[in-house]
Amino acid sequence: MNVIETSIPGVVIIEPRVFGDSRGYFFESWSQREFDEKVRPVHFVQDNESRSSYGVLRGLHFQKGKDSQSKLVRVVSGRVLDVAVDIRVGSPTFGRSVAVELTGENHRQFFIPRGFAHGFSVLSEEAVFQYKCDAFYAPPSEAGIAWNDPSLGIAWGIPAEDIILSPKDTANPLLSDLCSRQGILFDYSEDLY
């Protein structure tokens, strides 16, 4: 696999080696050994899959404290714009984001470390999205940031009037509101692993 660094250290794009011929293609979508060597040691404990239609925006989500999660995400079919936002207070890249287009054709994966919020918008008619997490889903620890927070300036790749949100995501606060709440965000000086 080829690991592509982004503008935020630790957030990486992974391109697998795809072998194709007249029958189709083959690629290794996951190797613990290679991931540990090239990205970082992570022990994933849960795999999730979602199917969404055009305009669906899921995010920006994260789990707080001891339940924080790393995610390795990919698209099986369709196209999404996937976004990671640094929410580690004190980080030189605090509040900055990295976005990457993931498709069923490019087979790219995106690694979002602990200490980041994550979200994606569906650019195609439909998308099937898979992700690995290194901590179990913990409803009491889930939190979110408003998808349209002007301080983040995320261009989601679809017109605002086409965006479809869950009721929960319509109520997510601005990042600045979370900064004033003790213990919600992450401390850059803490080792989250």
- Show me where the domains of the chain are located: 45-187
* Cα pseudo-dihedral 144, 148, 154, 156, rounded to 10: 100
Residue 61 designated active-site: yes
What is the dihedral sign for C-alpha 48, 132, 121, 151?
A: positive
Residue 185: per-residue pLDDT: 94
What is the Cα–Cα distance from 11 to 84, expressed in whole angstroms? Answer: 8
Question: Among the CATH numbers 2.30.42.10, 2.60.120.10, 2.40.110.10, 3.30.420.40, which is that of 45-187?
Answer: 2.60.120.10
Predicted pLDDT at 20: 86
Residue 60 has what pLDDT? 98
The segments of the chain whose pLDDT lies below 50 read none
Q: Comparing C-alpha atoms, which of 44, 66, 68, 192 is closest to residue 130? A: 44
Per annotation, catalytic residue among 43, 107, 118, 131 = 131
> Which position among 25, 61, 118, 137 bears the catalytic label?
61
Model confidence pLDDT, tens digit, residues 177-190: 998 887 789 999 99
> Assign residue 37 a region: left if phi > 0, alpha if psi is -120 to 50, beta otherwise?
alpha
The gap from C-alpha 43 to its chain's centroid, in whole angstroms, comes to 17
**Residue 188 designated active-site:** no
The CA distance from 9 to 7, in Å, is: 6
Q: In Å, how far are 89, 122, 148 from 170, measured between CA atoms?
A: 24, 17, 10
